[in-house]
Amino acid sequence: MTNKEVLNELKTGNKEVIASVYLKYRDEFLFFLKRKYSVNNDIAIEVYHEAFYAFHLNIITGKLQELTSSLKTYLFQIGRNLFLNELNRSKRTDEISFKSEKSETYDHIDDSNSEKIEVLRKALLELGNKCRALLKLFYFDNMPNELIKDKLNYATVNSVKTQKYKCFNQLKKRVLSDVDKNDLYN
């Protein structure tokens, strides 16, 4: 499989290819980071998770469309940058953790909003499977409506848009209802 083919498979969320690429470079990356920066295994694997997530995100958001270097070089570069950024931050806070690291594309909810996230998580679980799948394809996989239509067997693109609107509003109602009870938005 060429790099382009790999990127295409990753873009469509092919789980086997994701696992295969993830495993292909994992041990070498852990070894690289431990040798170069003398970090322990836990930190090294945490960095690799974050790097692989950022790599995946760059593909699905279209930020990475074509590789000018090898896939390995690109992935290692992301990991190295993430680690060095975190290292600089930890010099100020005396703590190394990648859990609150911002992704390259989206802002994350900070810890003060963790209660809201729990409410959202609960509301998401209460949605039907198809709604959950649709929202994930739309928001996380950044999939065009045309592809979502094919993947989830909708008749038209407009049906996808309508259904996405309904699913999202169903979720919003549940969240706001719980949030009102807990007074989280005031």
**CB nearer another protein, residue 4 or residue 121:** 121
Least gap, CB of 82 to another protein (angstroms): 13
Binding window for another protein (CB under 8 A); candidates: 3-11, 68-76, 82-90, 118-126: 118-126
Does position 171 interact with another protein (CB under 8 A)? The reply is yes
Least gap, CB of 1 to another protein (angstroms): 19
Among 5, 84, 90, 172, binds another protein (CB under 8 A): 172
Among 22, 96, 127, 178, binds another protein (CB under 8 A): 22
Does position 166 interact with another protein (CB under 8 A)? The reply is yes
DSSP conformation letters of the chain: --HHHHHHHHHTT-HHHHHHHHHHHHHHHHHHHHHHH---HHHHHHHHHHHHHHHHHHHHTTS--S-SS-HHHHHHHHHHHHHHHHHHHHHHHS----TTPPPSS-PPP-GGGHHHHHHHHHHHHHS-HHHHHHHIIIIIS---HHHHHHHTT-SSHHHHHHHHHHHHHHHHHHHHHHHHHHTTT-
Among 140, 146, 156, 173, binds another protein (CB under 8 A): 140
Closest alpha carbon to 45 in 59, 65, 29, 24: 29
Report the interface residues with another protein, using CB under 8 A: 15, 18-19, 22-23, 26-27, 30-31, 34-35, 38, 41, 45, 49-50, 52-53, 56, 61, 103, 105-109, 113, 116-117, 120-121, 124, 135-136, 138-140, 142, 161-162, 165-166, 168-169, 171-172, 175-176, 185
